[in-house]
Amino acid sequence: MISLAMILFASLIFTGVVVRTKSLASGRKGPGILQPLKDVLRLLRKGTVFSETTSFIFQIASSIYFVSVLMAILVVPFGQSKGLISFDGDFVFFAYVLALGKFFSIISAMDTGSSFEGMGASREALYSMLAEPAFFVLMGSFAMLTGHTSFHGIFTALHFSSHVSYALGVLATFVLIMVAMIENSRMPIDDPKTHLELTMIHEVMILDNSGFGLGLFTYAVNLKFAMYGAIIANFFIGDVPWYYAVLVFTAVQVLFAVIVGLLESFTARFRMAHNATFIFTLTSASLLIFFGVLLLMGKFI
């Protein structure tokens, strides 16, 4: 329960910290930290307009997408505390419940009959497919190292005690940050501020959404960022009292948000043809983690 509460709290300010960081990096004052949350609340209070070409799939897609993110959050632990849902192999459930929400967002974009939204849906499906092996190789490697197959078991048994293990922790953090950027269609894969349909990915998929449905899609992005931040934090919390765990969790979330803001401020968006290559290289980084685990276990020949 404490994991859910901490992630929900972090999601309220995460995007605000990102926007604030981008404003300071560009020499502007910018909006307040709570402004993105106010924008979401404004959308949630509005009515929804549905195109006549859409079916019931479009009407339920935003709710399923939002609920899928909440279900994934339920398996994320917090230090020594398990998630509300915890079982062997729960990281597989985590990945595929997110995939279920992504599937409905993709078919809802195609349901509109728009060629632009269909193009964005195709890109979203491709990039998610390419990012999936990196996540599974990463989690599978740490499962092999610790002898556990649940998030809670992996994080409680994981201890950094050598230069190789610290390197694995840094590399795993890099992979998870990039996976979070890809899953949320942010830089350097996509620019959420672009308005050119030919190069948009996630933003073009939700062009026909409005009001409450658009608010759910928007807030789900905040939740997913906070969720990945919680996974990263669990790598470094370890066996410490809960009040120290709260401090580590908060520091990691703020640092993660600042890193996202800096990446979006000082990196250029990749050319569309280079996105797939970049995403697939994350699997190579995860394979380095796999070989590092073999080295720690004395099985690397």
Give the pLDDT confidence of 90-101 residue by residue, as tens digits. 899 999 999 999
Rounded CA gap, 43 and 216, in Å? 9
pLDDT in tens, 66-89: 999 999 999 998 878 888 888 888
Among residues 182, 204, 203, the alpha carbon closest in space to that of 260 is found at: 182
Whether pTM > 0.85 for this model: the answer is: yes
Mean pLDDT for 15-38 is 86
Check residue 123 and give its pLDDT.
Answer: 83
103 CB-near residues (< 8 Å, 6+ apart)? none
Among residues 216, 185, 199, the alpha carbon closest in space to that of 272 is found at: 199
Output the six-digit token pair for 8: 């929900």
Q: For residue 296, what are the CA distances in angstroms to 93, 140, 161, 291, 300?
A: 27, 15, 10, 9, 8
Check residue 255 and give its pLDDT.
Answer: 92
Residue 147 C-beta-side C-alpha neighbours within 13 Å: 3
Rounded CA gap, 181 and 187, in Å? 7
Cα dihedral sign, 24-30-32-37: negative
Greater model confidence, 241 or 15: 15
- CB–CB of 25/91 below 8 Å? no
Q: Please state which of the ranges 36-50, 112-126, 132-146, 184-198 shows the lowest mean pLDDT.
A: 184-198
Rounded CA gap, 62 and 209, in Å? 9
DSSP code, position 86 = -
Check residue 199 and give its pLDDT.
Answer: 66
Q: Please state which of the ranges 72-86, 126-140, 143-157, 262-276 shows the lowest mean pLDDT.
A: 262-276
